[in-house]
C-alpha cells in the first residue's frame, strides 16, 4: 500500500480550510504550516487566472529529505508515508534545503500565538507536545489514520477537493482520479516522485 | 468552568484523560451558522470540526470556523463588566475602564432604562451585529416590549441587504438568491460570492458550487475584481464599479428585443407581465373589484387578473380600456428596454458591446425555454440558467434597480425557482413529517402578487407598508422597502430629524456586538452620532473601536458558551438551497462561560423582567418564534434562554424533542420534497416584473419627503428598472480617476476576525487580504511598485493608506480592498494596524443613500499615489 | 524584523529566501563551514609542506569549526546520531569526516609532538592517514551538502563541490601565509602561486556557476543571482567577496615585487575574509524553488 493524495484544483476554491484544519489538528506553532494554500496569478489583464494551489508534504517515494538526513530522523514509515522521528532529529535542517517543495519547518522554540499573554489552554494541550528545535512536517495525520479517519485537511475540505487513499490499488478513488483526469505532480523534474497528485483547474 | 468541574480536576492525575467528548453545536463567526462538532478533552476545547450529520456544512468548515478555539481562548477578551471613568468620549481617548460587578452594571442600566421609558421609549436604540443575526432574536422582542422602533444591524443591511433582500423577497420569497447548483448549466454572478466563501450558507455552497463546476456548469463572473468567484469562473467579465444595471438591462434588451428569447408561458402564468398598464404607468383596474386587468385574447376583452382567461392573456399589444390605450407590462418593458443597447452599456460599463450580446445569447440559449425534466417522478420546467447578485451589485445608490434589473434576466427566461434556475433560499417548508412544523409558504397578496411565507423581520417587502411620517430615527417608515437605515448614524441625521419634526432624540443605546464605528462608513460621522447619546451599554467579546464610546461594557459569552435553539432558522437566511435535506441544528455551550461572562440574551431577558416588561417580552418571543399551544410562554412567568429554547424545540419537533434531546443529537434532519424545492410550479402565485407598486409608493414617499424638504427623485421609483449613476460616476474632477470598492475576503468575517491570531497569520501571508489591489498597469503608470505604501483619497478629502498589491486581476479603474480591517483599538493587539479601513472613504448621508431602500452607496471615486510620509 | 515576522513575510513572497542556514544561529553553520574548510585545507597543505605549526592551527580551527557546527544544531547533545546515515547523507559523512579528523589529528599530533617512536610510529602513521581521510572528507562534504539541496536551485549545481574544495585550498594557503608571518618564517614562494591559481579557479567556478544559474531557466536560481549581483546581497558580495577577497589581495600582490611577511599575512587575511563572505553570500542567496503548476499538465 502506498498512501497518496489527490487535490482537484477544479474543485478547490482557495478557502484555506486545509491550512487551518491542519493547524488546529496538530496545534502547530506560529509560522509552521504542514498544509498551505498558495495563490498565484497567470496571464495578463483581462485574460488572467488566479491559481489556487494547496500544498503539503508529498510523501515522496524518492524523498530527498530522507536522503540527506544524517540521523535517519526523516524516514519512510509504513505505506510510504515520510515521517520525522523527533527523538532522532538533531535540527541540522538539511532536509529543509533538500525538500523541493519547501514543506518542512523548523520549530525554533515554544512560541504561542498570543505572545506575552502566554499559551492558551488549547496550546498547553496541543502545541506543547511538539519537540523544540527540530524539524516538523505533515505526517498524513498519523493519529487520525490510526483512528480510521481521513487526514484533517481531507475530511474538512469544504469543496471536497481532496482525496486520500492507496495509490497502488488501481480501484481506489485516488488511482481512478489520477487515471481519468490525468493527474500530475509538482516539479516532476525533481526526481522525488511525489505521492500527492493534482487535477487540472 | 463549573464548580464541580474544578473539584473534578483536582481528583485527576497528571496525564489522565478524564473527559473526551464531541459536542454538536453551531458556528457563529459569520452568520452562516455551520453545524460543528467540538472536541473537548479534560475541559479544554482541542478541535472544532464540521458536523457530518447536518446539511448545514455537511461536516466541513471554512478556515474561520476551525479557528474558533482562538476566539474562545483569546486572553484579550472582556471578562468582567466595565465602567468608563473618563467622561470624555473620542477616537483615541481612553475611557479609563474600571471593572464593576454585574449587580452594579444591571442596576445602572435598569434605572436609566426606566427613566428613558417613562420619558419616551423611542429614545432607546438597539444595535446588533449581523454576525449574530440568528441569535439576536431576543433583542427584537425586547425592542417591541420596550416600545421603540429603533433597531438596526449597524453596517448590515445598509451595506448588504436592503436591496438584495427586498428584491429577492418580492420575486423569490427569500432573503437571497443562488443558482440551483445541482442542475444549473450557465450562471452569471453580478458581484456575489455564492459558493466562494462568503454570502449566505457560505460554506455549504462551496461544495455545491464545486460539484457544479465539475459537472460543467459554465460560470461567468461580472466583477471589478478577479477575486474569489472570478478565480473559479469560466469567464471573468471585469466591470466598472456600480454599473451592473446598465449591463443587465442591455442583456435583457438583447433577449427580448433582438433575440426574442423569452419564456412567454412563464411570464403569462407566473408574473404580472400580462397586467394591463395605463399611460400613467399604473394598472388598469376593474372598477368594481379594483383588481388589475388583463387582455383576454380569446374574447378580445379585459378580464380581472385572476380570471381563468388569464391563460390566454396578451403579453404584447395596445388595448383601449376606458378610453385609454393600455399595454401589458411586458410590452412596456420591451419598449423601455430598447434604449439600453449594448453600445450604450459599453460606454457605461466598459464591457464591449459584442461581449454583452454574446452573454445575452449564451444565457438565452442555455435557458432551453420550453424544456422539462422529471425530478422525483414529477415533470417540471427545466431552465438551467441563473443570474444572481448580492452585496457587490446592490451596494450602490441605484441599489433597487440594480437588483431588479439583474433578477429580470431570470424572469425573462422563466428560470426562477424551477429546476436549474435561480433559487431563493428555501422559501417553502412543509415542516418535519412528525409535526408539520415549521411550515411556511408564499401566498397570494395584494393585486395577486406573491408575499413571502417566512421573513426575518416583521415587515415584509411585498406588499410594502404605506409610507408614513417617521417614527424612527432611521426614517424607515418613509421608505418601506428598506429594513435598516444609514441615517441611524449619518452626518445629516439631526438635520432630517428637525425637518421631519421627530419629537424625540435617541438617548440610550444597547449594543450587541456590532462595531458600528468601523462597519458603516467614515468614522467621524458615526462617532458624532454616538457622542450624542447619554448612555451606551454594549455587550461584546472584545473591547473595540465602538467600545470607546460606550459607558458600560458587558462581557458576553461567545458562541461556544451559549445556547441557541435556531442558529439556522428561518431557512430563508442561511440554510443551503436546492435539493437535499432539511437540517435544524442547535447551538449549545461546549464550555461554561468563565470569568464574569454571561449570555447577553439571558441578561436582556433579566433586564426586561426587572423593567416589568415580562408579559410584553414573553408575548414578543411567542410572536417571534411562533410559539402557540402548550409551548406558548406564559406572560406571567420568567424564563431563561434555555427554557425558551426548550419551548421552541418542543413546539417545532414534539414534546419528546426538547432541548435535552437536541443537546444530545445536535441536529434533526429530514428530506426536502420536490414541492418545497421547486415550489414555483406548484404554487399559483405571480411575481412582478413590472413594479407598478413603486409608482404609488414613490408618490407617497415623495409627498412626505417634500414636506420635510427632502429631495425626492421620482426617477428611482419607476416600475421598470433603469440605469442610474452613483455619485462616483458623476465626479467632475478628473484627477479622481479610480473607483474604490470592497469585497469579502473568504478568510475574514466582516470586521473582527483579524484579532484571531490564526486568521491574522493566514491573512498576512495572503497576497490580498491586508493590501490594496490596484491594476498592475494602472499602478505602473502612477509610478507605484508592489508593496509600496499608498494613499487612497476621495474628492471630499477622505483618505486611507495601506500597502498596494499590483495585480492583473482587477479592472484598470478599480481599487479593491478586502474586508473591514484597519483596526486601531489597542485592546485588539493582533488586529491593530492590520489591513485597510475602506469605510473611511464613504460618506454617510441621505445624498449617498438609495432613496428607495436606503442602501448606502459603497463606491467612491478616488485617486491613489505613493504615501510619502511612509516612503522614508 | 524578528524571525517570525520575517518568516511570515517570506511565506507570502513569490521567491522565499531560505534563512535557516546563514541567519541568526544559522550564521554559526557558515562560520563552521568556513572554519572546517580552512582547517582541511591547512591540514592538507601543512602535511605537504611539512609545517607543524600549520597542522596545529588546522587542528585547532577544525575543533573550533566542530564546535560552531554543534552550536548551530537544534540538539547538539545528540549530535552523535548524525553518524547513522553515511550511506546517503553528506551531512552524516561530513560529521564522520570531521570526527575522524579530530580523532586522528589529535592522536597524530600528540604522538608526533611527543615523538615516542618505536611501535608508536605505526599508530602515528595510522592516525595520520585517518586524519588525512577526515580532512579530505571535510574539504569535500560541504559542497555536496549544498548540491544535495534540491530545494535551492542556486546551490543545486555540480560546480558547488569544486568551488568548496577550491575554497578550502585557498583557505589553507591563507592560513599558511598568516602562520609564516606570525612565526617569522618565510613562506614558500609556491604558496603565492597556489593562491593565484586557486583564486583564478574560484573566480572561474563562480562565474560558470552564476552563468549556469542565470541561463538554466530556473527562475529561482535566477532570482538568487539577481539577489547576489543587484539585490539584497549585493553589498556582501561586492564589498566582502569582490573587494575584500579579490581586489585587496590582488592590489597587495601587485603593489610590489617583494612580499614581506606582513603583506603576505594581509593577503591571507583578506582572502580568507573574502572566502567567508562568498560562502555567506551564496548561502544567503538561496531561495526556495517556487511551487507552480507544471506548464504542460
Ligand atoms: N469595509 C467593510 N465594511 C463593511 C463590510 C465589509 O465587508 N467591509 N461588511 C458590511 C456588512 S455586509 C455588514 S453585515 C456589516 C457587519 O458589521 P458588524 O455587525 O459591525 O460586524 P463586525 O464588524 O464583524 O463586528 C462583529 C462584532 O461582533 C462581535 N461579536 C462576535 N461574536 C460575538 C458574540 O458572541 N457576542 C457579542 N456580544 N459580540 C460578538 C465582535 O467582537 C465584533 O465586534 O459590516 C458592513 N461594513
Ligand atoms: N468569508 C466571509 N463570509 C461572509 C462575510 C464575511 O465577511 N466573510 N460576511 C457575511 C455578510 S454580512 C454578507 S452581507 C455576505 C456578503 O457576501 P458577498 O455578496 O459575497 O459580498 P462581497 O464579497 O462584499 O461582494 C461580492 C463581490 O462583489 C464585488 N463587487 C464590488 N463592487 C461591485 C460592483 O459594483 N459590481 C459588481 N458586479 N461587483 C462588485 C466584489 O469584488 C466581490 O467579489 O457575506 C457573508 N459571509
Ligand atoms: S480546504 Fe479544499 S477548497 Fe479550501 S483551499 Fe484547501 S483544498 Fe482548496
Ligand atoms: S515533499 Fe519534501 S518533505 Fe515531503 S517527502 Fe518530499 S522531499 Fe520530503
Ligand atoms: S533537521 Fe532533523 S530531520 Fe532534518 S535532516 Fe536534520 S536530523 Fe534529519
Ligand atoms: S495530511 Fe494531516 S498533517 Fe498533512 S497537511 Fe493534511 S492535515 Fe496536515
Ligand atoms: S461559513 Fe461562517 S458559520 Fe460557517 S464555518 Fe465559516 S465562519 Fe463559521
Ligand atoms: Mo452583511
Summarised one tens digit per residue, pLDDT across range B187-198 is: 999 999 999 999
| Cβ partners under 8 Å of residue A45, min gap 6 | B238, B775, B776, B777, B808, B809, B810, B812
Residues in chain A within 8 Å Cβ distance of B763: none
Pairing assessment for the beta strands B186-190 and B177-179 based on DSSP bridges: unpaired
**Alpha helices, H only, B377-442:** 391-394, 399-412
- Judge whether residue B755 has pLDDT over 70: yes
CB contact under 8 A, C148 and A64: yes
Q: Is B765 on the interface with C (CB under 8 A)?
A: yes
Pocket test for ligand 1, best of B31, B74, B155, B561 (most atoms within 8 A of CB): B155
For residues C176 and C173, what is the distance between their CA atoms, to the nearest angstrom? 5
Count of residues for chain B?
A: 872
Please state at what angle helix C90-114 crosses helix C120-147, rounded to 10 degrees. 150
For residues B438 and B670, the answer to whether their CB atoms sit within 8 Å is no
| Cβ partners under 8 Å of residue A125, min gap 6 | A27, B41, B42, B44, B46
For residues A198 and A9, the answer to whether their CB atoms sit within 8 Å is yes
Q: Is C7 on the interface with B (CB under 8 A)?
A: no
Summarised one tens digit per residue, pLDDT across range C160-184 is: 999 999 999 999 999 999 999 998 8
- Judge whether residue B698 has pLDDT over 80: yes
Residue with the nearest Cα to atom 5 of ligand 3? A14
- Tell me which residue in A70, A100, A111 faces C89 most closely, judged by beta carbons: A70
Summarised one tens digit per residue, pLDDT across range C118-151 is: 889 999 999 999 999 999 999 999 999 999 999 9
Q: How much is the pLDDT for B596? A: 96
- Judge whether residue C19 has pLDDT over 90: yes
- Judge whether residue B298 has pLDDT over 60: yes
- Residue B133 grid cell: 443575526
Cβ–Cβ contacts within 10 Å for residue B623, how many? 14
Q: Is A14 on the interface with C (CB under 8 A)?
A: no
Query: CA of B762, closest CA in chain C: separation in Å?
Result: 9
Residue with the nearest Cα to atom 6 of ligand 4? A60
| Domain boundaries, given as residue ranges, for chain C | 12-284
Mean pLDDT of chain B: 96
Distance, C-alpha C250 to centroid of its chain: 21
CB contact under 8 A, B49 and A11: no
Of the pLDDT bands very low, low, confident and very high (cuts 50, 70, 90), residue B7 is: very low
Q: A24 CA to middle of ligand 5, Å?
A: 24
Summarised one tens digit per residue, pLDDT across range B56-82 is: 999 999 999 999 999 999 999 999 999
Average pLDDT on B245-253 reads 98
Residue with the nearest Cα to atom 4 of ligand 3? A15
Query: CA of B758, closest CA in chain C: separation in Å?
Result: 12
Beta strands in B436-545 (DSSP E): 443-444, 450-451, 508-512, 535-540
Distance, C-alpha B554 to centroid of its chain: 26
Pocket test for ligand 6, best of A83, A138, A165 (most atoms within 8 A of CB): A138
For residues B529 and B516, the answer to whether their CB atoms sit within 8 Å is no
Mean pLDDT of chain C: 93
For residues B479 and B464, what is the distance between their CA atoms, to the nearest angstrom? 9
Of the pLDDT bands very low, low, confident and very high (cuts 50, 70, 90), residue B872 is: very low
Enter the DSSP assignment of B382: B
- Residue B247 grid cell: 449591463
B32 lines ligand 7 (CB under 6 A): yes
Q: Which of B763, B764, B786, B835 to mutate to test the interface with C (most CBs of C within 10 A)?
A: B764
- Judge whether residue B14 has pLDDT over 90: no
- Residue B549 grid cell: 464610546
For residues C4 and B863, what is the distance between their CA atoms, to the nearest angstrom? 35
For residues B193 and B219, what is the distance between their CA atoms, to the nearest angstrom? 12
Of 3.50.50.60, 3.30.70.20, 1.10.10.10, 3.30.420.40, the CATH number of A3-199 is 3.30.70.20
Summarised one tens digit per residue, pLDDT across range B117-140 is: 999 999 999 999 999 887 777 898
Q: Which of C12, C14, C290, C291 to mutate to test the interface with B (most CBs of B within 10 A)?
A: C12
- Judge whether residue B6 has pLDDT over 70: no
CB contact under 8 A, B757 and A30: yes
Task: Please report, rounded to a whole number, the percentage of residues in chain B having pLDDT higher than 70.
Answer: 98
- Residue B659 grid cell: 432541548
B749 lines ligand 2 (CB under 6 A): yes
Q: Is A184 on the interface with C (CB under 8 A)?
A: yes
CB contact under 8 A, A90 and C78: yes
Of the pLDDT bands very low, low, confident and very high (cuts 50, 70, 90), residue C296 is: low
Distance, C-alpha B242 to centroid of its chain: 18
**Shortest CA distance to B97 belongs to which of B113, B114, B80?**
B80
| Domain boundaries, given as residue ranges, for chain A | 3-199
Q: How much is the pLDDT for B456? A: 87
Q: C98 CA to middle of ligand 4, Å?
A: 28
CB contact under 8 A, B766 and C11: no
| Residues whose beta carbons lie less than 5 angstroms from ion ligand 8 | B 130, 156, 160
Nearest-Cα residue of chain C relative to residue A187 = C294
| pTM to 2 decimal places | 0.96
CB contact under 8 A, C12 and B761: no
Residue with the nearest Cα to atom 7 of ligand 4? A99
- Judge whether residue B8 has pLDDT over 60: no
Q: C56 CA to middle of ligand 2, Å?
A: 72
Of the pLDDT bands very low, low, confident and very high (cuts 50, 70, 90), residue B871 is: very low
Summarised one tens digit per residue, pLDDT across range B509-560 is: 999 999 999 999 999 999 999 999 999 999 999 999 999 999 999 999 999 9
Task: Give, in order, the Cα–Cα distances in Å from B139 to each of B512, B570, B617.
Answer: 8, 16, 10
B526 lines ligand 2 (CB under 6 A): no
Atom in ligand 7 nearest the alpha carbon of residue B28: 3
Q: What residues are paired with B337 via a beta bridge? A: none
Q: How much is the pLDDT for B785? A: 96
C interface with A, Cβ–Cβ < 8 A, is 3-4, 7-8, 11, 14, 16, 18, 20-21, 26, 72-76, 78-79, 81-85, 88-92, 95, 145-146, 148-152, 155, 286, 288-289, 291-294, 297
* Region of poorest pLDDT, from B359-363, B454-458, C23-27, C71-75: B454-458
Q: What is the rounded end-to-end Cα distance, in angstroms, of chain A? A: 28
Average pLDDT on C45-56 reads 94
Residues in chain B within 8 Å Cβ distance of C11: 765
Residues in chain B within 8 Å Cβ distance of A157: 60
Q: Count of alpha carbons within 13 Å of A52, Cβ hemisphere only?
A: 28
For residues B91 and B840, what is the distance between their CA atoms, to the nearest angstrom? 13
For residues B802 and B835, the answer to whether their CB atoms sit within 8 Å is yes
Summarised one tens digit per residue, pLDDT across range C198-256 is: 999 999 999 999 999 999 878 999 999 999 999 999 999 999 999 999 999 999 988 87
Q: How much is the pLDDT for C255? A: 85
- Judge whether residue B1 has pLDDT over 50: no
For residues B468 and B700, what is the distance between their CA atoms, to the nearest angstrom? 8
Of the pLDDT bands very low, low, confident and very high (cuts 50, 70, 90), residue C186 is: confident
Pocket test for ligand 5, best of A67, A70, A75, A97 (most atoms within 8 A of CB): A70
For residues B162 and B747, what is the distance between their CA atoms, to the nearest angstrom? 24
Enter the DSSP assignment of B294: E
**Shortest CA distance to B253 belongs to which of B146, B338, B158, B331?**
B338
Query: CA of A67, closest CA in chain B: separation in Å?
Result: 30
CATH topology of domain C12-284: Formate dehydrogenase/DMSO reductase fold (1.20.1630)
* Region of poorest pLDDT, from A101-110, B295-304, B442-451: A101-110
Amino acid at each position: 500500500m502506498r498512501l497518496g493524495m489527490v487535490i482537484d484544483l477544479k474543485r478547490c476554491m482557495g478557502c484555506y480550510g486545509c491550512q487551518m484544519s491542519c493547524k488546529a489538528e496538530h496545534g502547530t506553532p506560529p509560522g509552521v504550516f504542514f498544509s498551505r494554500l498558495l495563490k498565484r496569478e497567470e496571464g495578463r489583464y483581462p485574460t488572467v487566472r488566479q491559481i489556487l494551489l494547496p500544498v503539503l508534504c508529498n510523501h515522496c517515494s524518492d524523498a530527498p529529505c530522507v536522503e540527506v538526513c544524517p540521523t535517519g530522523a526523516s524516514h519512510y514509515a509504513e505505506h510510504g508515508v515520510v515521517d520525522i522521528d523527533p527523538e532522532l532529529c538533531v535540527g541540522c535542517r538539511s532536509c529543509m534545503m533538500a525538500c523541493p517543495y519547501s514543506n518542512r519547518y523548523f520549530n525554533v522554540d515554544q512560541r504561542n500565538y498570543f505572545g506575552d499573554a502566554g499559551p492558551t489552554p488549547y496550546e498547553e494541550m496541543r502545541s506543547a507536545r511538539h519537540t523544540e528545535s527540530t524539524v516538523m512536517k505533515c505526517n498524513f495525520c498519523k493519529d487520525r489514520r490510526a483512528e480510521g479517519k481521513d487526514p484533517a485537511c481531507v475530511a474538512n475540505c469544504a469543496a471536497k477537493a481532496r482525496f486520500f487513499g492507496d495509490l497502488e490499488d488501481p480501484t481506489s478513488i485516488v488511482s481512478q482520479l489520477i487515471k481519468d483526469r490525468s493527474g500530475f505532480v509538482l516539479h516532476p523534474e525533481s526526481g522525488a516522485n511525489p505521492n500527492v497528485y493534482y487535477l487540472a483547474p | 468552568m463549573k464548580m464541580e468541574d474544578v473539584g473534578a480536576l483536582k481528583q485527576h492525575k497528571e496525564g489522565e484523560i478524564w473527559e473526551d467528548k464531541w459536542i454538536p453545536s453551531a458556528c457563529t463567526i459569520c452568520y452562516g451558522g455551520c453545524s460543528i462538532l467540538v472536541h473537548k478533552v479534560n475541559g479544554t476545547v482541542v478541535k472544532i470540526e464540521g458536523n457530518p450529520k447536518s446539511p448545514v456544512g455537511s461536516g466541513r468548515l471554512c478556515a474561520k470556523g476551525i479557528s474558533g478555539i482562538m476566539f474562545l481562548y483569546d486572553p484579550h477578551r472582556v471578562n468582567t463588566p466595565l465602567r468608563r471613568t473618563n467622561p470624555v468620549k473620542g477616537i483615541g481617548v481612553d475611557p479609563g475602564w474600571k471593572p464593576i460587578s454585574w449587580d452594579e452594571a444591571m442596576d445602572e442600566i435598569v434605572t436609566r432604562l426606566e427613566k428613558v421609558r417613562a420619558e419616551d421609549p423611542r429614545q432607546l436604540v438597539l444595535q446588533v451585529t449581523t454576525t449574530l443575526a440568528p441569535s439576536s432574536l431576543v433583542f427584537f422582542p425586547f425592542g417591541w416590549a420596550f416600545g421603540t422602533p429603533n433597531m438596526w444591524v449597524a453596517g448590515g443591511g445598509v451595506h448588504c441587504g436592503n436591496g438584495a433582500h427586498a428584491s429577492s423577497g418580492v420575486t423569490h420569497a427569500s432573503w437571497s438568491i443562488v443558482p440551483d447548483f445541482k442542475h444549473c448549466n450557465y450562471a452569471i454572478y453580478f458581484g456575489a460570492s455564492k459558493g466562494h466563501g462568503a454570502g449566505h450558507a457560505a460554506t455549504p455552497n462551496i461544495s455545491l458550487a464545486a460539484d457544479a463546476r465539475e459537472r460543467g456548469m459554465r460560470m461567468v463572473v461580472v466583477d471589478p475584481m478577479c477575486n474569489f468567484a472570478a478565480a473559479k469562473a469560466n469567464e471573468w467579465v471585469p466591470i466598472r464599479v456600480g454599473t451592473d444595471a446598465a449591463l443587465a438591462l442591455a442583456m435583457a434588451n438583447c433577449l427580448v428585443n433582438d433575440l426574442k428569447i423569452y419564456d412567454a408561458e412563464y411570464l403569462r402564468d407566473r408574473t404580472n407581465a400580462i397586467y394591463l398598464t395605463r399611460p400613467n404607468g399604473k394598472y388598469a383596474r376593474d372598477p368594481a373589484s379594483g383588481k388589475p386587468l388583463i387582455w383576454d385574447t380569446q374574447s378580445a376583452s379585459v378580464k380581472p387578473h385572476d380570471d381563468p382567461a388569464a391563460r390566454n392573456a396578451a403579453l404584447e399589444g395596445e388595448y383601449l380600456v376606458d378610453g385609454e390605450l393600455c399595454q401589458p407590462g411586458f410590452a412596456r418593458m420591451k419598449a423601455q428596454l430598447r434604449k439600453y443597447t449594448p453600445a450604450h452599456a459599453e460606454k457605461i460599463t466598459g464591457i464591449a458591446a459584442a461581449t454583452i450580446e454574446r452573454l445575452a445569447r449564451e444565457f438565452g440559449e442555455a435557458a432551453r425555454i420550453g424544456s422539462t425534466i422529471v425530478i422525483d417522478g414529477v415533470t417540471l420546467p427545466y431552465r438551467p440558467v441563473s443570474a444572481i447578485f448580492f452585496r457587490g451589485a446592490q451596494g450602490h445608490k441605484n441599489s433597487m434597480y440594480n437588483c431588479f434589473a439583474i433578477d429580470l434576466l431570470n424572469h425573462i427566461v422563466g428560470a426562477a425557482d424551477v429546476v436549474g434556475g435561480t433559487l431563493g433560499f428555501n422559501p417553502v417548508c412543509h415542516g418535519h413529517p412528525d409535526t408539520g412544523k415549521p411550515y411556511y409558504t408564499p401566498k397570494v397578496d395584494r393585486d395577486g402578487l406573491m408575499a413571502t411565507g417566512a421573513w426575518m423581520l416583521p415587515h415584509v417587502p411585498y406588499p410594502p407598508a404605506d409610507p408614513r411620517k417617521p417614527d424612527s430615527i432611521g426614517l424607515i417608515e418613509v421608505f418601506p422597502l428598506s429594513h435598516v437605515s444609514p441615517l441611524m448614524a449619518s452626518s445629516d441625521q439631526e438635520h432630517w430629524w428637525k425637518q421631519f419634526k421627530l419629537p424625540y432624540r435617541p438617548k440610550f443605546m444597547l449594543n450587541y456586538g456590532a462595531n458600528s464605528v468601523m462597519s458603516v462608513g467614515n468614522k467621524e460621522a458615526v462617532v458624532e452620532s454616538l457622542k450624542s447619546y447619554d448612555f451606551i451599554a454594549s455587550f461584546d467579546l472584545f473591547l473595540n473601536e465602538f467600545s470607546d464610546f460606550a459607558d458600560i461594557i458587558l462581557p458576553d459569552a461567545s458562541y461556544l458558551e451559549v445556547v441557541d435553539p435556531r442558529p439556522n432558522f428561518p431557512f430563508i437566511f442561511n440554510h443551503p438551497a436546492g435539493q437535499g435535506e432539511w437540517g435544524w441544528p442547535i447551538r449549545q455551550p461546549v464550555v461554561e462561560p468563565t470569568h464574569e461572562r454571561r449570555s447577553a440574551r439571558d441578561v436582556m431577558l433579566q433586564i426586561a423582567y426587572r423593567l416589568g416588561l415580562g408579559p410584553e417580552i414573553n408575548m414578543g418571543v411567542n410572536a417571534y418564534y411562533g410559539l402557540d399551544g402548550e409551548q406558548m410562554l406564559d406572560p406571567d412567568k420568567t424564563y431563561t434562554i434555555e427554557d425558551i429554547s426548550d419551548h421552541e424545540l418542543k413546539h417545532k419537533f414534539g414534546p419528546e424533542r426538547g432541548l435535552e434531546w437536541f443537546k444530545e443529537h445536535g441536529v434533526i434532519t429530514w428530506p426536502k420534497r420536490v414541492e418545497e424545492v421547486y415550489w414555483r410550479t406548484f404554487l399559483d402565485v405571480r411575481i412582478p416584473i413590472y413594479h407598478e407598486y413603486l409608482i404609488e409608493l414613490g408618490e407617497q414617499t415623495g409627498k412626505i419627503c417634500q414636506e420635510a424638504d427632502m429631495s425626492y427623485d421620482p426617477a428611482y421609483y419607476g416600475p421598470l428598472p433603469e440605469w442610474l449613476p452613483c455619485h462616483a460616476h458623476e465626479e467632475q474632477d478628473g484627477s479622481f480617476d479610480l473607483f474604490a470598492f470592497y469585497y469579502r475576503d473568504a478568510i475574514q468575517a466582516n470586521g473582527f476576525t483579524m484579532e484571531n491570531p490564526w486568521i491574522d497569520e493566514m491573512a498576512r501571508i495572503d497576497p490580498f487580504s491586508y493590501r490594496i489591489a490596484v491594476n498592475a498597469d494602472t499602478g505602473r503608470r502612477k509610478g507605484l511598485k508592489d508593496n509600496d505604501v499608498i494613499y487612497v483619497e476621495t474628492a471630499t478629502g477622505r483618505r486611507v493608506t495601506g500597502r498596494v498589491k499590483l495585480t492583473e486581476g482587477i479592472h484598470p479603474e478599480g481599487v479593491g480592498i478586502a474586508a473591514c480591517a484597519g483596526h486601531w483599538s489597542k485592546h485588539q493587539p493582533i488586529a491593530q494596524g492590520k489591513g485597510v479601513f475602506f469605510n473611511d472613504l464613504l460618506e454617510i448621508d441621505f445624498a449617498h443613500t438609495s432613496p428607495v431602500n436606503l442602501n448606502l452607496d459603497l463606491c467612491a471615486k478616488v485617486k491613489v499615489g505613493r504615501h510619502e510620509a511612509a516612503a522614508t | 524584523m524578528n524571525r517570525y515576522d520575517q518568516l511570515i513575510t517570506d511565506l507570502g513572497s513569490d521567491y522565499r529566501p531560505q534563512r535557516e542556514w546563514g541567519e541568526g544561529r544559522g550564521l554559526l553553520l557558515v562560520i563552521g563551514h568556513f572554519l572546517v574548510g580552512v582547517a582541511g585545507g591547512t591540514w592538507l597543505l601543512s602535511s605537504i609542506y611539512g609545517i607543524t605549526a600549520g597542522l596545529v592551527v588546522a587542528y585547532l580551527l577544525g575543533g573550533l569549526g566542530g564546535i560552531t557546527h554543534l552550536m548551530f544544531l537544534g540538539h547538539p547533545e545528540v549530535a552523535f546520531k548524525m553518524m547513522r546515515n553515511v550511506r546517503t547523507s553528506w551531512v552524516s559523512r561530513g560529521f564522520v569526516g570531521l570526527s575522524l579528523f579530530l580523532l586522528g589529528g589529535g592522536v597524530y599530533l600528540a604522538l608526533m609532538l611527543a615523538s615516542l617512536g618505536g611501535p608508536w610510529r605505526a599508530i602515528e602513521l595510522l592516525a595520520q592517514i585517518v586524519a588525512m581521510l577526515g580532512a579530505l572528507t571535510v574539504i569535500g562534504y560541504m559542497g555536496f551538502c549544498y548540491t544535495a539541496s534540491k530545494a535551492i536551485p542556486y546551490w543545486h549545481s555540480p560546480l558547488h563541490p569544486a568551488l568548496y574544495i577550491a575554497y578550502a585550498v585557498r583557505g589553507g594557503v591563507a592560513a599558511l601565509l598568516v602562520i609564516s608571518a606570525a612565526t617569522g618564517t618565510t613562506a614558500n614562494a609556491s604558496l603565492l602561486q597556489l593562491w593565484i591559481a586557486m583564486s583564478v579557479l574560484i573566480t572561474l567556478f563562480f562565474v560558470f556557476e552564476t552563468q549556469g544559474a542565470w541561463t538554466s531557466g530556473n527562475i529561482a536560481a535566477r532570482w538568487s543571482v539577481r539577489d547576489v549581483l543587484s539585490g539584497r546581497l549585493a553589498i556582501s558580495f561586492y564589498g566582502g567577496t569582490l573587494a575584500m577577497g579579490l581586489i585587496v589581495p590582488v592590489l597587495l600582490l601587485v603593489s610590489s615585487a617583494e612580499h614581506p611577511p606582513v603583506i603576505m599575512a594581509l593577503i591571507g587575511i583578506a582572502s580568507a575574509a573574502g572566502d567567508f563572505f562568498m560562502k555567506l553570500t551564496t548561502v544567503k542567496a538561496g531561495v526556495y524553488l517556487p511551487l507552480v503548476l507544471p506548464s504542460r499538465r
